[in-house]
Structure 1
Amino acid sequence: MSEASPWLERWAHLLPANARSLDLACGHGRHTRWLLAHGATVTAIDRDAAALASLPAAVRRIEADIENGPWPLPDDSRFDAVIVTNYLHRPLLLRIAKSVAPGGILLYETFAQGNERFGKPSNPAFLLAPGELLTLADAAGLRVVAYEDGVAALPREACVQRLCAVRPAPGEAAGHVALYELRA
């Protein structure tokens, strides 16, 4: 089993206790398993039936081709945590971000422009433009807690963008200024 993303582990202290979580394009479920081990309930979505079948029985598994088929969840579905890693389909970005419940968190991490010099993906359709995740957060009314855009050394050298954003609870303002406890 692969390790969880250091980005997820870094911001895990912001996950609500017993978080209702969505692991989108979950693959073989490294984040699904991590979330389960930390007390979350998880809905895992992927198009790979074999990968989904390998997940623990406690996981709500949804086999769906979200790029070519309908969105597999009711429009009003909201989650305390939405996790997306190494996946990009721009027509779904806003829908994904709007799946974050009030007080919930979006952790998004994927490849960015410039990655073509390191290998795949190299198709611009699968590479975020500079600031694209910040634009998404603004459009969805999320408060940005942390953002990175640059070259990551591990697990292999790649250009990535990472976003940690929260949906303000009722009465809180959105925006980019927020104070959260940072844990080493």
Structure 2
Amino acid sequence: MQAIKQVEPLVESETISAWVRRWAPLIPGGEVLDLACGNGRHARHLVSLGHPVIALDHDPEMLEQAAGTGIVTSLVDLEAPGAVWPFAAGRFAGIVVTNYLHRPLIESLVASLAPDGLLVYETFSEGNEQFGKPSNPKFLLKEGEMLTWAAQQGLRVVAYEEGRVEQPKAALVQRICAVRPDFPRLAALLPPF
């Protein structure tokens, strides 16, 4: 029998992205994918909101830190030659991605959202090289790129931002909260500005 690891409270160095904190409460009930989860800071937050979570990463040491009650870890290198997207279409009520970009995954990732699913995505954009890493264009979004993805994938944009952030460090980012077309359009579900 496998021991269950309790989810430890977040420490200050694991601050949850303000973008994720703001939009994650809109995720409808159901399973959530934390893609490129790192040490699991967002996975733990999503569990605290009542969701079962799959925390996926290519680093076994990070997954060990991410493991906890309500979190299933998945060791997958989605960038390895011949790698395939491991999840079925329509599986997830929500998908959360921060500080990760691998463009070939976008179509499959969006396909894995349930018909009423929500995508919360935040990562670096061109110009970030002035602040350090990542600086490789392969890992930096072009201007408005997330909006283009949303349009191509038939998502409805709830919120989008592009610009400089200061926390947890100075960076240029794009971030989007987008929903599948069947997401309920009830004003009561949207938080106040």
Q: Same fold (TM over 0.5)?
A: yes
Which residue of the partner structure matches residue 15 of structure 1? 27
Q: Is the 8 A contact 2:60 2:75 kept in 1?
A: yes
In structure 1, the gaps of 5 or more residues are: none
Large movers: runs of 4+ above 3 Å = none
Distance 1:74 1:162, change over 3 A: closer
Q: Could you tell me which of 100, 116, 141 is aligned with 1:128?
A: 141
Q: Secondary structure at the match of 2:150?
A: helix
Amino acid at match of 2:25: H
Q: Is the 8 A contact 2:85 2:105 kept in 1?
A: no
Q: After the TM superposition, which residues 10-159 of structure 1 pair with which residues of structure 2 at under 5 Å, given as runs?
A: 10-17=22-29, 19-54=30-65, 55-68=67-80, 69-76=82-89, 78-159=91-172
Amino acid at match of 1:82: I
Amino acid at match of 1:21: V
Q: Secondary structure at the match of 1:92?
A: helix
Q: Could you tell me which of 13, 16, 21 is aligned with 1:4?
A: 16
- After TM superposition, the score normalised by the length of structure 2 is 0.85
Amino acid at match of 1:5: S
Amino acid at match of 2:20: L
- 61-70 or 74-83: bigger deviation: 74-83
Which residue of the partner structure matches residue 183 of structure 1? 192
Alpha-carbon distance in 2 for matches of 1:62, 1:72 = 12
User: Matched residue pairs, number?
Assistant: 178
RMSD of aligned residue pairs (Cα, Å):
2.0
Amino acid at match of 1:44: A
Determine what percentage of the aligned residue pairs are the same residue: 47
Structure 1 position 34, deviation (Å): 0.4
- 101-110 or 44-53: bigger deviation: 44-53
